[in-house]
Structure 1
Amino acid sequence: MKIQGIYLIIDPTLTNNRSIFDIASWALSGGVSVIQYRDKISDRSEFLENSFQLKEICDSAEIPFIVNDAVDVALLTNSYGVHLGQSDLPIDYARQILSSDQIVGLSNDGMEQAKESEHKGSDYVAVGAVFPTRSLGKSSRIPVGLKKLEQIVNRMLIPVVAIGGISEDNLYDVRKTGVASACIVSDITLSESPENKVKNLRKIWFDY
């Protein structure tokens, strides 16, 4: 397993009142490549229990399951890895907690942060927001844009995941930058059929 293709973040505030487990199952049926669980509203026990269930769903499809922020939950669930923000636990401390085979990804808003994350030992970097977006607290960020994204990809020695405002309408242009993966949230989780949406996104991605 590795970070590639269509990368989905599941957040309980972006499901159209549907179960996060249903969203995960539908997305996996459509062929999503990675699932990350991000949850800023549930208490710790619920977050942990949900993570165990999502990990089981992802394992059944042999797809990587990533935990957002919570290094302890990533360890307890034996997730594929953890995704951290710039203000979260430093990567060297995270690695002291995680098992040796778990990966760490870091969020970045541009070239400088991405190169620093690579230097710190991140296994992959998420760069964005690529386009304007209201999802996941990124509305205040100045969009990176496709040109800068491609420049970052060309400078990095580790996989780059594009994130922020990515949808079926612009995925082809994102794919052309050479990113390893495109992280998509609301275009999948708020769609009428997450399964069909992922199928459409996969077709764009793999037909490139």
Structure 2
Amino acid sequence: MAKRTITRDQIVKEAHKLVRAKGARALTFEAVARQMGVTKQAIIYWFPKKGALIEAMLLPSLEAEALAGQEAATRVETDRNVRQRFAAAIVDFHLSDLERFRTMYLSPQLTPDAFAMVTKGGHQVSSKVHAVTAQMYRTLAEALIAEGFATSDTARRKAFLLHTNVLGLVLMASLSDALNDPLAHDLADLRVTLLAQLA
């Protein structure tokens, strides 16, 4: 029988499918290997620790979200302030792929043991996550100060609260989608109302 060659990207893609289909608790090297029709050792070759696989699953999405937010915060527009630009970018980023949002934010929160930030091997996913989010908050805080919406003492807190408030709308949309239970309000109208609140 010919040996099957797999790539790092294929493993990450299959791990995402597994988590989306069966939840974060189902994420094991054995389960990914079984789903791919390879041995557990083939997975371990690319990801010696579970933390490395989790990082490969989460970090690119977090980096993409942070980049979207940073680009919006630093972009100059005459018709929107920095808060509106940032909120619109984050909402649009997440609404474009609610499955990605659930993997990024809900799976780690609902099953923290499966997505432990520090694994047995000491692999620190959290330090890389914090570096990405810290840069996004720094960029947003600087833009809020430059716009006169925040002082250097309050900018970081305001950046964090803006981001988490925006995630609240996406969270409701994501849960509604996952449960196939429509929101009482049109999502496009909610987006417009959110941005209007930030005027």
Structure whose residues are more often strand by fraction = 1
- The normalised TM-score by structure 1 is 0.28
Structure whose residues are more often helix by fraction = 2
**Structure with larger Rg:** 2
